[in-house]
């Protein structure tokens, strides 16, 4: 259905509820108050009569007193009810009218309500500035993990859309200009529970201003920014912005990794993926040969740098080389959408093509023309707008790069499972065979859907049972933890990917490595394995069974019985 | 925690429990089924229905549908009651009471479905 219908229905909810409530009270009063007939005999008023009277009371006042003339007690009640029901009707109709009118007043109410809601937040939350494609994806994945968020955006339509999105958690949102520090303050920048600010607007300067405001007004919090240009990036970094994501650079680096070690690229894609998505197939970009690069803008330059580092030959096609700069081996002048330009760039004997201009139509046209000239090309396409998804799926590109999704994924992983970043950094030093082996272990574990990836901090909150044993000096190994608490001969479908404590980071810890309190673990596997493991970590009896095989009785009575039996009574 | 879900959960469970309260008793004995209870059941169900207005999700639409079904049956029951008492010579007979109570029983099933849907939604929340 149309969004407008939903908005009207939503807005009419309160008036309708008030209307129902008032009518109910008025009717109930009519039924309760004793009535009498013309002869003075008491007559009960039925709900039917009460409903009949209240229905015409508010709309046609002065119709008469039915079915009998009222007593004075009834008249007192009716005089109050008349005003109440008329007022409620006016309110209901008035609400509909204001919906169609100017909303300046409502804006003021909205702002104060938003401030109040943000003030009342009692859980840690993230402040997301910009609810565009990236912001939407990020807020959704945060709330799916039961983390709280507050969103502001300059476009009222997007804020309305957020209210209609069915999110797992309530997300306070306001249409405001994030460049004004006051709006950031309203959105909870100085709130003691604000854990971080994520600046995701599509304007670099706005993101920069948000970062500055965040660092000045609340220096301790994490600031995560999107930046599309290196100057802005350097500027942000200079005053301590915690994480800066450049979609083009990130993607180009991913491509470089995919060329260098396809398994590692696949592994990182799986571990960072959404759980209900099916596993992606591996891609094998050609590791040697010549690539043709169309468009030498921000994306083109990032790809150029990373592909060059891989030792690939490159030919660049650019329509406006005097504006974008010229790489040292020169440039083919043109857009790449015509066969002539592509042939001039030697598309016939190239192995790869990057369609990286900022126009989706051009990119699609480049790919179609190039594939007509050389069917064997490995094609990387840049998609700028979400609504073109269908076209890019059809065009025959092996990799489609969409800036907003890349950033949302990165930030989601950074906030949800920060250890994954450490894992990838360590894995980059390993050989690709190592990653291939891990990939095959993961596949064996989860079949066709992306694995569940989660972190455990061994502390009193997340693993009280293990901490209790640790205090008693009993050590627990990785292998013991992964046993199934229902049957300790079986092993849970999970892999411990990383163990980390204050001193060291250990990739794929060996089965006999001890897990102590203070450790942090990164695991992947099936979602049910994560729940089972939580059980082991929290319940001392379960942990005891996993370690020793004794099923100790848990209840008071049973423990008492067990002690009696042990004493040999 | 989403306050909207709390309020709706409260009203739908209240509707179910009140409905059950009206429903229990001998099916055709007017002594066992009080008119006030029917009134409050209709009221709470109306509130629960209006609360689901404008919910775009699949689950929201299903809950609105079950609430509408319950409303339909309860208004039918109220209508029969009114017509029997005020518009017929015979007044409230055991047969009429039986049909009123069975209609409210139908509404109760719709309310049970609502509550089950609510529970399913709660359980499918991803951790």
Query: Is A87 found in the same domain as A147?
Result: no
- Greatest mean pLDDT among A227-231, A278-282, B82-86, B95-99 lies in B95-99
Query: Is A295 found in the same domain as A196?
Result: no
Torsion of CA B68, B72, B77, B80, to 10 degrees: 160
Query: Is A82 found in the same domain as A18?
Result: yes
* Chain A residue nearest residue B45, CA to CA: A20
- Do B4 and A170 lie within an 8 Å CB cutoff? yes
Cα–Cα distance between B92 and B78 in angstroms, integer? 13
> Is A565 domain-assigned?
no
Cα–Cα distance between A39 and B94 in angstroms, integer? 32
Query: Which of A245, A266, A285 marks a domain boundary?
Result: A245
- With contacts defined as CB-CB under 8 Å, which chain A residues touch B84? none
> Is A89 domain-assigned?
yes
Query: Is A306 found in the same domain as A339?
Result: yes
- With contacts defined as CB-CB under 8 Å, which chain A residues touch B33? none
What phi, psi does A330 have (nearest 5°)? 85, 180
Number of structural domains chain A divides into = 4
Residue A162 in contact with partner chain B when CB distance is under 8 A: no
Of B2, B56, B126, the CB nearest to A164: B56
Query: Which of A416, A433, A460 marks a domain boundary?
Result: A416
Residue A13 in contact with partner chain B when CB distance is under 8 A: yes
CA-to-CA separations, A197 to A120, A224, A319, in angstroms, rounded? 18, 6, 38
Query: Is A378 found in the same domain as A283?
Result: yes
Cα–Cα distance between A303 and A84 in angstroms, integer? 69
Query: Which of A416, A437, A465 marks a domain boundary?
Result: A416
- Is residue B102 pLDDT above 90, yes or no? yes
What phi, psi does A150 have (nearest 5°)? -125, 135
> Is A561 domain-assigned?
no
Query: Is A402 found in the same domain as A309?
Result: yes
> Is A555 domain-assigned?
no
**ipTM score here?**
0.73
* Chain A residue nearest residue B78, CA to CA: A48
**How close, in Å, is residue B57 to chain A by CA atoms?**
7
| Cross-strand pairs, A332 | A317
For A161, the 3-state DSSP assignment is helix
Residue A545: what pLDDT?
84
Query: Is A513 found in the same domain as A387?
Result: no
CA-to-CA separations, A15 to A7, A111, A294, A314, B126, in angstroms, rounded? 14, 21, 58, 66, 34
Residue A552: what pLDDT?
66
Query: Is A342 found in the same domain as A468?
Result: no
Query: Is A94 found in the same domain as A13?
Result: yes
| Cross-strand pairs, A149 | A126
- Do B35 and A47 lie within an 8 Å CB cutoff? yes
- Do B53 and A27 lie within an 8 Å CB cutoff? no
Residue A248: what pLDDT?
87
- Is residue B83 pLDDT above 70, yes or no? yes
pLDDT tens-digit series, residues B23-67? 999 988 888 898 899 999 999 999 999 988 877 788 888 999 999
Q: Which helix (H) or strand (E) holds B95?
A: helix B94-123
Interface test with B, best of A32, A45, A166, A169 (most B CBs within 10 A): A166
Chain B residues with CB-CB distance to A under 8 A?
Answer: 1-4, 35, 39, 43, 46-47, 50-51, 53-57, 59-60, 78, 81-82, 85-86, 125-127
Query: Is A376 found in the same domain as A331?
Result: yes
Residue B65: what pLDDT?
93
Residue A1: what pLDDT?
41
Using an 8 Å Cβ cutoff, are A502 and A516 in contact? no
- With contacts defined as CB-CB under 8 Å, which chain A residues touch B45? none
Residue A168 in contact with partner chain B when CB distance is under 8 A: yes
> Is A108 domain-assigned?
no
**What CATH number did the domain enclosing A26 receive?**
1.10.287.70
**What CATH number did the domain enclosing A477 receive?**
3.30.70.1450
Residue B126: what pLDDT?
53
Residue A166 in contact with partner chain B when CB distance is under 8 A: yes
CA-to-CA separations, A266 to A115, A271, A435, in angstroms, rounded? 44, 9, 9
Residue B121: what pLDDT?
83
Query: Is A265 found in the same domain as A309?
Result: yes
Residue A170 in contact with partner chain B when CB distance is under 8 A: yes
Query: Is A324 found in the same domain as A218?
Result: no
* Chain A residue nearest residue B47, CA to CA: A17
Residue A10 in contact with partner chain B when CB distance is under 8 A: yes
Residues of A484-502 as b/e, b for ≥16 C-beta within 10 angstroms?
A: bbeeeeeebbbbbbbbbee
**What CATH number did the domain enclosing A412 receive?**
3.40.50.720
* Chain A residue nearest residue B51, CA to CA: A13
pTM for this prediction: 0.63
> Is A446 domain-assigned?
no
Structural domain boundaries, residue A372: 258-416
> Is A443 domain-assigned?
no
> Is A433 domain-assigned?
no
Residue B71: what pLDDT?
94
Residue pairs spanning A and B at CB distance below 8 A: 65
Residue A169 in contact with partner chain B when CB distance is under 8 A: yes
Kindly state the tokens that stand for A388.
């073109």
Interface test with B, best of A17, A142, A161 (most B CBs within 10 A): A17
Residue A415: what pLDDT?
81
Residue B127: what pLDDT?
43
Kindly state the tokens that stand for A499.
């163990």
Mean pLDDT, consecutive 10-residue stretches, chain A (569 aa), reads 64 88 91 86 86 83 74 85 88 82 68 86 91 83 83 88 84 88 89 90 88 90 86 86 86 86 86 76 84 88 88 87 80 85 87 89 92 90 86 87 81 83 85 87 82 87 87 86 85 89 85 87 87 86 82 71 75
């Amino acid at each position: 259905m149309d969004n407008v219908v939903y908005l009207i229905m939503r807005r009419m909810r309160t008036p309708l509820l008030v209307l129902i409530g008032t009518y109910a009270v008025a009717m109930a009063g009519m039924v309760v108050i004793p009535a009498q007939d013309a002869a003075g005999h008491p007559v009960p008023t039925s709900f039917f009569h009460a409903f009949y009277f209240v229905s015409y009371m508010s709309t046609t006042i002065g119709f008469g007193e039915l079915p009998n003339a009222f007593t004075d007690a009834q008249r007192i009640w009716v005089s109050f009810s008349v005003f109440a029901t008329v007022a409620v009707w006016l309110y209901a109709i008035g609400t509909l009218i204001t919906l169609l009118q100017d909303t300046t007043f409502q804006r003021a109410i909205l702002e104060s309500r938003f401030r109040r809601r943000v003030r009342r937040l009692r859980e840690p939350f993230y402040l997301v500035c910009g609810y565009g494609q990236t912001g939407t994806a990020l807020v959704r994945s945060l709330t799916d993990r039961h983390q709280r968020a507050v969103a502001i955006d300059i476009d009222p339509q997007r804020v309305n859309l957020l209210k209609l999105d069915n999110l797992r958690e309530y997300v306070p949102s306001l249409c405001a200009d994030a460049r004004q520090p006051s709006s950031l303050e309203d959105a909870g920048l100085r709130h003691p529970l604000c854990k971080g600010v994520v600046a995701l607007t599509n304007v670099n300067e706005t993101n920069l201003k948000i970062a500055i405001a965040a660092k000045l007004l609340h220096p301790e919090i994490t600031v995560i920014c999107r930046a599309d240009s290196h100057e802005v990036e350097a500027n942000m970094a200079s005053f301590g912005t915690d994480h800066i994501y450049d979609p083009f650079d990130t993607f180009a680096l991913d491509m470089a990794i995919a060329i260098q070690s396809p398994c590692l690229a696949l592994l990182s894609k799986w571990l960072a993926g959404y759980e209900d998505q099916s596993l992606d197939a591996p891609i094998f970009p050609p590791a040697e040969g010549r690539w043709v690069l169309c468009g030498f803008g921000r994306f083109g330059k990032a790809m150029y740098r990373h592909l060059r580092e891989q030792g690939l030959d490159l030919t660049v096609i650019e329509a406006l080389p005097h504006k974008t700069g010229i790489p040292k081996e020169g440039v083919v002048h043109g857009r790449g959408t015509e066969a002539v330009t592509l042939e001039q760039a030697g598309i016939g004997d190239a192995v790869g093509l990057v369609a990286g201009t900022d126009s989706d139509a051009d990119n699609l046209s480049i790919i179609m023309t190039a594939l007509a000239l050389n069917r064997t090309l490995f094609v990387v396409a840049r998609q700028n707008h979400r609504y073109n998804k269908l076209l890019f799926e059809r065009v025959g590109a092996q990799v489609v790069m969409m800036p907003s999704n890349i950033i949302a994924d990165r930030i989601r992983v950074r906030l949800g499972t920060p250890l994954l970043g450490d894992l990838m950094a360590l894995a980059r030093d390993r050989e690709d065979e190592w990653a291939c082996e891990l990939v095959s272990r993961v596949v064996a574990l989860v079949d066709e859907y992306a694995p569940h990836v989660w972190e455990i901090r061994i502390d009193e909150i997340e693993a009280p049972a293990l901490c209790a044993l640790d205090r008693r000096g009993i050590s627990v190994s990785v292998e013991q933890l992964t046993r199934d608490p229902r049957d300790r001969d079986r092993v849970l479908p999970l892999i411990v990917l990383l163990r980390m404590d204050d001193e060291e980071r250990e990739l794929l810890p060996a089965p006999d490595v001890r897990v102590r309190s203070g450790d942090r673990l990164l695991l992947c596997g099936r979602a049910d394995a994560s729940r089972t493991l939580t059980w082991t970590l929290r319940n001392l009896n379960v942990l005891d069974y996993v370690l020793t095989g004794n099923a100790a009785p848990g209840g008071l009575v049973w423990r008492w019985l067990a002690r009696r039996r042990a004493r040999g009574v | 925690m989403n306050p909207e879900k709390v309020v709706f959960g409260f009203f739908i469970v209240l509707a179910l429990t009140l409905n059950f309260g009206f429903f229990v008793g001998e099916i055709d004995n007017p002594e066992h089924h009080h008119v006030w209870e029917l009134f409050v059941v209709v009221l709470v169900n109306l509130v629960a229905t209006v609360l689901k207005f404008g919910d775009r999700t699949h689950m929201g639409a299903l809950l609105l549908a079950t609430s509408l079904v319950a409303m339909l049956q309860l208004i039918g029951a109220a209508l029969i009651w009114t017509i029997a008492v005020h518009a017929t010579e015979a007044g409230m007979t055991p047969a009429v009471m039986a049909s009123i109570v069975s209609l409210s029983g139908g509404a109760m099933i719709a309310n049970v479905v609502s509550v089950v849907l609510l529970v399913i939604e709660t359980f499918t929340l991803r951790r």
